[in-house]
């Protein structure tokens, strides 16, 4: 029997809800991006798994004297804007508002909070291309699937936090990039890379400024229509796809000309020990990339306390 009961998340059955949730989280994430000081590798724009749903974490406002936090609050069925000095603002989702209706109310409620909303007002790298104010076809809130996704993300967040703690080098927190709605931890060797050429997007120029191995989970997209764990090494070293991945079922697959390690959520869910399966995958993908890229694995590994 499975040591944890983790839910099914069939891509096709919640696709409209997934997109509705994703677009709302992009709106929230863009607000954080517009309202916070820059941090390396875009770490200032990310969202986080929280006990209530998905959140920005506190955003300083009014010259740092106050703070505001925006949460997609799943138990409350709302987006909540929590202020340090004022009452909480609640935008209810119980009546299934369209993205356009939600966005209109959201902008109205942001006034006076100190948050900024001078961002590009349409989805980023999604199949929906219209401005937020014109998206009326997405108004889907299957709360059963939203809660399942949240449960899975909470579980994966704890795994990525445990995995992150094994590494002495520079590493980001476990956070959500609302670009692809993936939960991510990235490790860095400390080696700076040559600048990308002028044709690269500013997103990639800062993201890939240093050698790294990234790990994550995402719920799927039109190209990969199932939840999946992944890892990639950048730059991708020669022969990485000759390394053995764990557990059985993990595989290397080409992604834009470079090997990416993949493990399906379905394989994890059906394993005897799902948590161990994910940790084994993360560790084997790290060892493959770090070995082939000549990282100092021993120096970067956190030992057990009894070995200090």
Scanning 138-248, the segments in alpha helix (DSSP H) are 143-164, 202-207
**What would the two tokens of residue 72 be?**
């997609």
State whether the Cα torsion 130-136-137-143 is positive or negative: positive
Specify the residue for token string 């009014």: 62
Phi, then psi, of 187 in degrees rounded to 5: -110, 145
Write down the pLDDT at residue 252. 98
The Cα 69–Cα 35 span in angstroms is 11
Cα dihedral 30, 232, 153, 250, rounded to 10, equals 150
Write down the pLDDT at residue 307. 87
Task: Give the model confidence (pLDDT) of 177-206 as tens digits.
Answer: 999 999 999 999 999 999 888 888 888 888
Specify the residue for token string 């992944």: 230
The Cα 208–Cα 195 span in angstroms is 9
pTM over 0.85: yes
Write down the pLDDT at residue 88. 97
Query: Within the chain, which residues score under 50 in pLDDT?
Result: 1-2
Strands (DSSP E) contained in the chain are: 48-49, 53-55, 59-61, 66-73, 78-83, 89-92, 175-177, 182-192, 210-218, 228-234, 251-255, 258-264
Task: Give the model confidence (pLDDT) of 42-60 as tens digits.
Answer: 999 999 999 999 999 999 9
The Cα 87–Cα 104 span in angstroms is 20
Q: Based on the number of CB atoms within 10 Å of its own CB, is 251 exposed (0-12), middle (13-18) or buried (19 or more)?
A: middle
The Cα 139–Cα 303 span in angstroms is 49
Residues in the chain: 308
Write down the pLDDT at residue 117. 87
Examine residue 205 and say whether the peptide bond preceding it is cis (omega within 30 degrees of 0).
no
Helix 15-35, helix 99-110: angle, nearest 10: 20
Write down the pLDDT at residue 1. 38
Phi, then psi, of 292 in degrees rounded to 5: -70, -25
């Amino acid at each position: 029997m499975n040591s944890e009961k983790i839910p099914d998340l069939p891509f096709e059955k919640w696709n409209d809800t997934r997109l509705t949730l994703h677009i709302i989280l992009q709106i929230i994430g863009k607000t954080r991006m517009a309202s916070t000081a820059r941090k390396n590798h875009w770490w200032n724009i990310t969202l986080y798994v929280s006990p209530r749903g998905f959140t920005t974490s506190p955003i300083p406002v009014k010259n740092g004297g106050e703070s505001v936090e925006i949460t997609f609050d799943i138990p409350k069925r709302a987006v909540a804007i929590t202020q340090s000095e004022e009452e909480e603002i609640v935008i209810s989702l119980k009546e299934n508002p369209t993205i356009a209706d939600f966005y209109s109310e959201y902008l109205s409620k942001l006034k006076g909070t100190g948050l900024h909303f001078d961002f590009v007002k349409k989805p980023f790298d999604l199949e929906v291309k219209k401005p937020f104010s014109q998206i009326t076809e997405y108004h889907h809130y299957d709360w059963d699937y939203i809660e399942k996704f949240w449960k899975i993300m909470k579980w994966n967040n704890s795994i990525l936090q445990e995995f992150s703690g094994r590494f002495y080098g520079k590493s980001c927190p476990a956070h959500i990039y609302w670009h692809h709605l993936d939960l991510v931890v990235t490790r860095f060797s400390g080696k700076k890379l040559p600048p990308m050429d002028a044709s690269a997007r500013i997103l990639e120029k800062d993201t890939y400024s240093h050698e790294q191995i990234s790990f994550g989970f995402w719920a799927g997209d039109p190209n990969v229509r199932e939840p999946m764990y992944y890892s990639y090494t950048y730059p991708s070293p020669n022969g990485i796809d000759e390394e053995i991945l764990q557990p059985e079922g993990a595989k290397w697959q080409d992604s834009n000309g470079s090997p990416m390690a993949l493990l399906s959520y379905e394989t994890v869910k059906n394993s005897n020990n799902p948590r161990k399966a994910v940790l084994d995958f993360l560790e084997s993908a790290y060892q493959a990339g770090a070995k082939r890229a000549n990282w100092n694995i021993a120096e970067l590994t956190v030992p057990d306390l009894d070995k200090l």
